[in-house]
Amino acid sequence: MTPRRMFCKLLFLFACTAMAYGQNGTPTPATNTIPLTVPSGTPLQIALDKEVRVRKVGQAIDGRLVQPVYAFDRLVIPVGTKVTGKISKVDSVSAWKRTLGILNVDFTPARQIAVEFDDLLLPDGKHLRLKTTVTPGFGQVVRLVSAGAHDKKKTAKDAASQQMEEAKQQWQSAMKWVKEPGKMHWMMRYGVAQLPVHPQYMDAGTLYFAELKQPLGFGVEPVTTKTSSMIGTPPPPGSLVHALLITPLNSAATQKGARVEAGLSQPLIDGDHHLILPQGSRLIGSVLQVQPARHLKHNGQLRIVFRELALPDGTVQRVDTSLAGIQAGDADHARLDTEGGAHASSSKTRYISTTVSVGLALIGSGGRRDVGESGPVAGGATSFKLVGILVGLIVRSHTLGIVMSAYGGSRSIYTNFFGRGRDIAFPKNTAMLIGFGDRTAPQKPMAP
């Protein structure tokens, strides 16, 4: 063999050896594939992107996805994806509700509206037909409620705070798709709502949970040993994960010690792009504290904690977590304390409404010498609104004005300060942000 042929052979062997080993001298990782499938039952969180005037069953509605959808570790449906649907049902008004409306000169009381979503438009222009069931949810504009500020120390909490800020920015970015009307529009809407006959609207930003009836497929993905080698390792302290609540919670009905579950809606990936927790992993915990709403405006409270992390392969590990953020209806006035406890708060407008009601009550009972003929009208306004005003104009009785004023003023004070408080409730599929601490334990098999 000539020296030249010997050199070429050695060079070929060296090239083959270099292909079989990585730059760090380790063998090239083996490659497998995993199907990218969004299973049936997965909830799509959809917010109406514009105001809808309710007209009839079958009326088209449009929305935007406000929570991303993942399959394993791949983003398959991004935030802002357009979803179309229709109004599937308009419930009739009960006789009692209609009677109350008539007494307040409201001949078109609000009706319950059911919707469904059937088409999804991906960013690449591809349409996906959907079959969904819209589960009971907020049915109102929602916001992201975060826990109180943590200590400003150079610890893992700084990373969690940064992730929390990123989560808030993602939520604000998602809600940018919603075309919220201006203040002038809201004032016009409020004026129209006071008319005896008025249309019904679905507000922009109203959130619905649409659960898939059929799975969605997005092909397969190659998974290397290198990228999957960290799956199942304890989450780094300060990690923040996105999850959806599986167990609905309500301070009025949930019992202390009740089991609580949540499923990861987004994978947890470290800074080196190693997958730690795939989408679909579950967090298992319990209710530590529950307090239903009581009289004297004591609002409901809930405190939950997740202590176990169940992986898709069936193993379970002990974890230390805290609730860092949660979705809540804008009208629910939910709050989170620094330890992740949720509670309802009373609206600050109760002081204004009570002041107005008491002021009208004083005018209504002030006597003809002070207020002339306005006493009965003011008394009627504070107690029975439009009906009270009409009665006050027609009857013109000072005694009637005093009675209606006393009733209206006392009712406002009782409702805002002495009545039953507000319960805190989180329906199924509520989005949550959960932070991990540093206490872990060896894995154990999950019970069947």
Q: What are the φ and ψ backbone dihedral angles of 188, each rounded to 5 degrees?
A: -65, -40
138 close to 144: Cβ distance less than 8 angstroms: no
Tell me, yes or no, whether 18 lies in a domain.
Answer: no
Pairing mode of beta strands 132-135, 142-146: unpaired
Tell me, yes or no, whether 4 lies in a domain.
Answer: no
Tell me, yes or no, whether 428 lies in a domain.
Answer: yes
**Rounded to an integer, what distance in angstroms lies between the CA atom of residue 326 and that of residue 22?**
44
CA angle 278/279/284 to nearest 5° reads: 95
Q: Mean pLDDT lowest for which of 78-92, 247-261, 350-364, 409-423?
A: 350-364
**Rounded to an integer, what distance in angstroms lies between the CA atom of residue 164 and that of residue 144?**
11
134 close to 117: Cβ distance less than 8 angstroms: yes
Q: What are the φ and ψ backbone dihedral angles of 356, each rounded to 5 degrees?
A: -65, -45
Q: What are the φ and ψ backbone dihedral angles of 91, each rounded to 5 degrees?
A: -70, 150
DSSP 414: I
360 close to 408: Cβ distance less than 8 angstroms: yes
* pLDDT of the residue at 300: 84
* pLDDT of the residue at 85: 94
**Rounded to an integer, what distance in angstroms lies between the CA atom of residue 210 and that of residue 89?**
15
Contacts of 368 (CB under 8 A, 6+ apart): 375, 398
439 close to 319: Cβ distance less than 8 angstroms: yes
* pLDDT of the residue at 227: 65
Tell me, yes or no, whether 7 lies in a domain.
Answer: no
Place 4 in a pLDDT band, splitting at 50, 70 and 90: very low
Q: Are residues 336 and 356 in the same domain?
A: no
Residue whose structure tokens are 């400003």: 152
Tell me, yes or no, whether 2 lies in a domain.
Answer: no
**How many domains does the chain contain in total?**
2
Crossing angle between the packed helical segments 374-395 and 398-413, to the nearest 10 degrees: 120
Tell me, yes or no, whether 30 lies in a domain.
Answer: no
Does residue 51 register a pLDDT over 70? Answer: yes
* pLDDT of the residue at 387: 54
- Per DSSP (E only), the strands in 332-382 are 334-336, 342-344
* pLDDT of the residue at 405: 59
Q: Are residues 101 and 142 in the same domain?
A: yes
Does residue 367 register a pLDDT over 50? Answer: no
Average pLDDT across the chain, whole number? 75
The tens digit of pLDDT for each residue in 99-122 reads 877 767 778 888 889 999 999 999
**Rounded to an integer, what distance in angstroms lies between the CA atom of residue 309 and that of residue 336?**
23
Q: Are residues 299 and 287 in the same domain?
A: yes
DSSP 433: E
Does residue 154 register a pLDDT over 60? Answer: no
Tell me, yes or no, whether 196 lies in a domain.
Answer: no
The tens digit of pLDDT for each residue in 237-272 reads 888 889 999 999 988 889 999 999 999 998 888 877
The tens digit of pLDDT for each residue in 267-292 reads 888 877 788 888 889 999 999 988 88
* pLDDT of the residue at 11: 38
Pairing mode of beta strands 69-71, 82-90: unpaired
Q: Are residues 263 and 385 in the same domain?
A: no
418 close to 399: Cβ distance less than 8 angstroms: no
Q: Are residues 302 and 369 in the same domain?
A: no
Phi-psi region of 125 (alpha: psi -120 to 50; beta: other; left: phi over 0): left
Q: Are residues 79 and 134 in the same domain?
A: yes
Q: Are residues 403 and 311 in the same domain?
A: no
The tens digit of pLDDT for each residue in 161-202 reads 666 677 777 777 777 777 666 677 777 877 777 777 889 998
Place 307 in a pLDDT band, splitting at 50, 70 and 90: very high
DSSP 125: S
Does residue 49 register a pLDDT over 80? Answer: yes
Q: Are residues 72 and 60 in the same domain?
A: yes
* pLDDT of the residue at 144: 75
Q: Mean pLDDT lowest for which of 66-80, 137-151, 200-214?
A: 137-151
264 close to 436: Cβ distance less than 8 angstroms: no
Strand partners, 263: 244, 282
Q: Are residues 250 and 398 in the same domain?
A: no
**Rounded to an integer, what distance in angstroms lies between the CA atom of residue 357 and that of residue 388?**
13
Average pLDDT over residues 89-100: 86
**Rounded to an integer, what distance in angstroms lies between the CA atom of residue 369 and that of residue 311?**
77
What is the residue range of 391's domain?
A: 349-418
Query: In this structure, what is the dihedral angle of CA atoms 101, 103, 104, 105, given to the nearest 10 degrees?
Result: 80
* pLDDT of the residue at 63: 92
* pLDDT of the residue at 151: 41
| Structure tokens, 430 | 């509520």
Q: Give the total residue count for the chain.
A: 448
133 close to 321: Cβ distance less than 8 angstroms: no
Tell me, yes or no, whether 361 lies in a domain.
Answer: yes
119 close to 130: Cβ distance less than 8 angstroms: yes
Average pLDDT over residues 325-332: 77
- Does this model's pTM top 0.75? My answer is no
Q: Are residues 52 and 40 in the same domain?
A: yes
Q: Are residues 274 and 381 in the same domain?
A: no
* pLDDT of the residue at 86: 94
Q: Are residues 284 and 242 in the same domain?
A: yes
In percent, the amount of the chain with pLDDT more than 70 equals 64
43 close to 209: Cβ distance less than 8 angstroms: yes
441 close to 317: Cβ distance less than 8 angstroms: yes
